[in-house]
Amino acid sequence: MQIGPIASHFIDGQYVEDKSGTPIPVIYAASGEQIATVYAATPAIVEQALESARKAQKIWAKMTGTERGRIMRRAADIMRERNYDLSVLETYDTGKPLQETLVADATSGADSLEYFGGLAGSLTGEHIPMGEDWVYTMREPLGVCVGIGAWNYPTQIACWKAAPALACGNAMVFKPSETTPLCALKVAEILHEAGLPAGVYNVVQGMGEVGGALVTDPRVDKVSLTGSVPTGKKVYAAAAADMKHVTMELGGKSPLVIFDDADVENAVGGAINGNFYSSGQVCSNGTRVFVQKGIKEAFLKRLAERVGNAVIGDPMDEAVNFGPMVSENQMNIVLGYMEKGKAEGARLICGGGRVDKEGWYLEPTVFADVTDDMTIAREEIFGPVMSVLDFNTEEEVIARANDTEFGLSAGVFTNDLSRAHRVIGALEAGSCFINSYNDAPVEAPFGGVKASGVGRENSKEAIKHFSQVKSVYVRMGDVEAAF
Ligand code: NDP
């Protein structure tokens, strides 16, 4: 089976092929079958994309915000009309179950284009009176932005970066992860079908070195990366050499704190959503589940029962709610962590290995009696491995939850209103949840603190990260000078 694409890259409003680049096989995670080949961008392709973006940005920025927004909202409508096909493609790209991709990927991308398209016409400056003089400000685009994506949400990441960038009048060159190169091409195709001027949104394929070439190019004004902390540190440093703007959406090892008074079913539901959605390949997952001792056994019992109800199988079957890992490599990384959990003495409640079928399937896995120093409690696993840790007091759990380099997300389950807000207030994280986990509407800022990131995606906050403010002092009278 071959599922395209038409060509590897999308530049200046059209598909472009250059087979002299390194071939990148696209493997369907549910079968291990190769379903497509794309070719990494050569220096000539990178050059074409950047030149095209540079020219198109000037045309795009001259349009009114309302005109830009209309095109973006049209693209959102097309994405919704084609949701089924786009979801199937997302499933081929990632292996995530269609049950998920139908509601979480193209739909989320469309939300983002619609939301930022709606904002585009209202991105105004301020008027600041200074007696008879005055200052006015203008919100200007940054110029050419580079987006670099991870492999877990290829459609969503492509849109979450494109939408605020384009709303502000920037152009973008987007490099998807080499593991999931297909979906961003469709996003580019749809944006142009909706009327985007050629060159405003370009997609080039490649591995880290293509990303590196984009990040260090002097024509680039901003880099927005979704990826791991080690990659984030490299990209941030490279961007800093030219004082480029950055947004860094990086990894996490987020705490989910469950107090004795929590509703057990809801807490278990939150822990399942925060560990097993997308087979655990979600950056904001609450993988350190701190459970207060009084509720621990009831929580573990219901958790094991409900995890046993996971329907593991063909991701294209809409009844399936737990699919394979994105790649053999990622599966092996996660298997290594499962073995470390066992070797370091954590108590295996369920799962712990591969599912006996073709494809890169792992069992949803829960370890209990995990201690803070165990590897599975310290490192981001990016797979379906939940660590359950015990705690006694609020003060203790806050200190332990914050004892990590990461700070992406945090959640708390309790029926005590004051405690919920007090604990969330004390947790060092950017995207937090009370009696819920992993909701990410476009209206809410998303991003991390500490090593988990810089800047925010989504919401009006993202506008600040894709634009800059010019202030203009206007003197109405004569200029006084010392000599
Ligand atoms: P990586 O950090 O390995 O890669 C991210 C992207 O960066 C890929 O496109 C990669 O290219 C590219 N890249 C790698 N090296 C460089 C470089 N030196 N210069 C420029 N670009 C480079 O992450 P994964 O793809 O493995 O994704 C998983 C990680 O992403 C996890 O840590 C996860 O937590 C994080 N993530 C964060 C999210 C957030 O919003 N905070 C959301 C989703 C994931 P290639 O892979 O093609 O070589």
Q: What is the pLDDT of residues 363-391, one digit of tens each?
A: 999 999 999 999 999 999 999 999 999 99
Report the SS3 class of residue 119: helix
Look at the block and give the residue holding tokens 């059209």.
14
How far lies 282's CA from each of 70, 120, 264, 382, in Å? 32, 29, 23, 7
Ligand 1 centre and the CA of 6: distance in Å? Answer: 25
Q: Which of 111, 112, 80, 84 is nearest to 99 (CA)?
A: 84
pLDDT of 115 reads 98
**Ligand 1 contact via 246 beta carbon (within 6 Å):** no
- Summarised one tens digit per residue, pLDDT across range 384-440 is 999 999 999 999 999 999 999 999 999 999 999 999 999 999 999 999 999 999 999
What confidence tens digit (pLDDT) does each residue in 234-279 have? 999 999 999 999 999 999 999 999 999 999 999 999 999 999 999 9
Mean pLDDT for the stretch of residues 88-93: 98
> How much is the pLDDT for 467?
98
**How many angstroms does the Cα of residue 251 sit away from the middle of ligand 1?**
9
Residue range 52-62: mean pLDDT, rounded: 98
Instruction: Give the position, in ligand 1's atom list, of the atom nearest the Cα of 234.
Output: 18
Ligand 1 midpoint to CA 250 (Å): 8
Among 9, 442, 42, 441, which Cα is nearest to 184's? Answer: 9
How does residue 143 score in pLDDT terms, banded at 50, 70 and 90?
very high
Query: Which of the listed residues 179, 231, 277 should we mutate to test ligand 1's pocket, taking the one with most ligand atoms within 8 A of CB?
Result: 231
Ligand 1 centroid – CA 150 distance (Å): 4
Ligand 1, atom 44: nearest CA belongs to which residue?
A: 283
- With a 6 Å cutoff on the Cβ, whether 148 touches ligand 1 is yes
Mean pLDDT, the chain, rounded, equals: 98
Question: Closest Cα to atom 22, ligand 1: which residue?
Answer: 208
> What's the average model confidence in pLDDT over 35-58?
98
The yes-or-no verdict on residue 285 having pLDDT over 90 is yes
279 pocket-lining for ligand 1 (C-beta < 6 Å): no
Pocket test for ligand 1, best of 177, 214, 284, 327 (most atoms within 8 A of CB): 177
CB proximity list for 45: less than 8 A, separation 6 or greater = 9, 11, 16, 18, 21, 204
pLDDT band with cut points at 50, 70 and 90 for residue 3: confident
- State yes or no: pLDDT of 4 exceeds 90: no
Q: Is 217 in the pocket of ligand 1 (CB under 6 A)?
A: no
Give the ranges where 312-370 is alpha helix by DSSP (H). Answer: 328-343
Query: Are 49 and 9 in contact, with CB atoms under 8 Å apart?
Result: yes
Nearest CA to ligand 1 atom 48: 207
* DSSP assignment letter at 28: E
Amino acid found at 283 = C
Ligand 1 atom nearest 452 alpha carbon: 41
- Residues that are catalytic: 161, 249, 283, 457
Query: Can you tell me the mean pLDDT for 12-33?
Result: 98
- Arithmetic mean of pLDDT, 333-356: 98
pLDDT of the residue at 429: 98
Contacts of 350 (CB under 8 A, 6+ apart): 304, 307, 308, 363, 364, 365, 366
* Tokens of residue 282, six digits: 């979600």
- What's the token pair of residue 437? 């986990």
Q: Is pLDDT above 90 for 301?
A: yes
Per-residue b or e along 256-270, where b marks 16 or more CB atoms closer than 10 Å to that residue's CB:
bbbbeebeeeebbbb
Q: Indicate the pTM of the whole model.
A: 0.97
Alpha carbon distance 438, 409 (integer Å): 8
Three-state DSSP at 83 gives helix
2 pLDDT band, cuts 50/70/90, is confident
Q: Give the model's pLDDT for residue 1.
A: 81
Which atom of ligand 1 has the smallest separation from the CA of 153?
Answer: 43
Q: Is 304 in the pocket of ligand 1 (CB under 6 A)?
A: no
| DSSP conformational letter for 198 | T
- Residue pair 327/181 in contact (Cβ under 8 Å)? The answer is no
The proportion of the chain whose per-residue pLDDT surpasses 90, expressed as a percent, equals 99
Tell me: cis bond preceding 5? Omega within 30 of 0 counts. yes
